[in-house]
Structure formats: structure tokens, C-alpha cells
Amino acid sequence: MQALILCGGLGKRLRPFTKKTPKSMMPIAGKPFLEYLIEFLKKNGIKEMILCTGYLHNKIEDYFGSGRQFGMNIRYSHEHSPLGTGGAIKNAEKLIRSRFFVLNGDSYINLNLKSLLAKHLQNKAIVTIALTKVKDVSRYGQVTVDKKGKIIDFQEKANLKYKKGGYINAGIYLLENKTLKMIPPKINCSLEKDIFPKLIEAVQECHCEEFPMKSERRTVRSLAMTEMTKEKVIEQPLIGQRFYGYKYKGLFIDIGIPRSYREFNKLMQRKTV
């Protein structure tokens, strides 16, 4: 299987450190954060990956090269302007062969990817997201699942005005190749804001030849996605019943802010991960 790592972000919350260093290349106990993610993937049996780069991409590409010295096969998908999490994945479409993992380039969790894959296949899911429980979801947004693990609500952090505990997106996704058709090309598009919420909305019923269900063929017209003066409206299948969460208990760190970055650095220096 392949894995994509999203590492094209500007890292604004870690300024001034990220003015000359991409966020995913921030040093952690003597090596870049991204190297820990690559080691994590290798430990889970994945040796082929696509690094979705953007800001200061040459720093990443020069360091990792073809990946041979890390025991990996690394290819690159470079975005010339910010495309968002969804847009970056769409930009790499030609390099993706089939079912694939996606990792945020600033999050670390000790998840067993084989267990996630097994659950994904058992549920016949189109998308499965790793979820972890935190005491305060306001920094991350909140994900709500039903008793069977289906995701029934996906709230971005901007919509949460008070602190509370709950499950959050832990930054690892497993996607079927078909989901690429849900992402519009060449515009800025967010998985979290534009795609995932649409997976749990039923807007319109009609026949669908693209993603047939066992007992029904229904499609949904997604919301018009606007980037500056640009609008894109896409016909998409209603696949909410195949959008699942996978609950994970264990270490989760997002290095996107200085406090969390320092925390992960201390953990790795003590080699407790």
C-alpha cells in the first residue's frame, strides 16, 4: 500500500522557526519530525510513499531524496500555491494506484495501521479516520460517531466556542481510490471543511452509476466550493454510511504550536515514545 504525507503547509503558528524550515522538518531530538513519520510507516510495513510538498519544498526533497537511504521509495507531488489538504491529495492523483493512507505532516500517533485497515475492510468503508479522545476539542474540532462507528457529525474548531472533551481527527486517514473523484482539481480544497462534512449530508437523490451501493443508487450534489471568484459544483454519491471513525487510545501529539512541539521534543529526547 501507499501512504501520502501532507507536508506543504506554511507552519504559521510556529513562526519565526518556520520562516526558513518547513514545519514537518522542524528538528526533534536531532532529526526532522518528518523522519519519525517515515519510520512509523516503515514499522507498519509501508515502504512506498508520496510526500505532498509546497512551502520550502526543496528542504524536504533534498533531505529525503528517493528515500533509498531510509529503506523507502519516496515520490513527490509539489504544489506551486496552497491547495489545502484535499487539493494536495488531488494534485498527487496520478501517483496513487489504489487504496491509500494519508497522514498529516504535523501529527504523530502510535497507531497500528494493520488494525485500522482490517476495520476499514470489515466496514466496507470508503473513508476511515483515526480518532483520539482529548479533554479539550476546541483546538482541533470534534468528530461524533454512532454505536457502529459511523461518523455522523464533523465540526471544525472554528465552530466550537467552548471547551469540552470528545473525539477528534487524529490526522491519519484511509481512503479508497474512488474518493479522489470527490475532490475538485486545481483549487484550494480542505478535506476537513469541504469533503468530510459532505460525506454525511444527503442533499439530493438520483441515480448513480459511479459508486453503486448494494441496495440503492443515490447521489448528492455537494456544496458549491468557492475559491476567490471561482466556483465548482460537483455531483457526488451519498456515501455517508461508509464514512467511519476508528477510535485509538495512546500517544497523540500535534506539533503545530510551540508548546506541543516542545513536548514532543522532550519525549523523544527521553526516548519514551
pLDDT in tens, 129-151: 999 998 888 778 889 999 889 99
pLDDT tens for residues 146-180?
Answer: 988 999 888 876 555 666 788 999 999 999 998 89
d(CA 47, CA 164): 38
Q: Give exposure, 47-62, as e/b (b: 16+ Cβ within 10 Å).
A: bbbbbbbbbbbebbee
Q: Would 225 be classed as within a structural domain?
A: yes
Residues 56 and 159 grouped into a single domain:
no
pTM of the model: 0.82
Q: Considering only CA atoms, which of 99, 97, 100, 73 is closest in space to residue 6?
A: 100
153 inside domain: yes
Check 12, 157, 163, 186 and give the catalytic one: 157
Q: Are residues 36 and 59 in the same domain?
A: yes
In a domain, 40, yes or no: yes
Does residue 25 fall inside a structural domain?
yes
CATH code, domain carrying 87: 3.90.550.10
Catalytic site includes residue 157: yes
Domain region containing 258: 1-110+251-273
Q: Give me the amino acid identity at 179.
A: T
Q: Are residues 85 and 157 in the same domain?
A: no
- Tell me the pLDDT tens digit for each residue of 26-78: 898 989 999 999 999 999 999 999 999 988 899 999 999 999 999 999 999 99
- Condensed to tens digits (0 to 9), the pLDDT of residues 186-233 reads 899 998 888 888 887 733 232 233 333 333 333 333 333 433 323 343
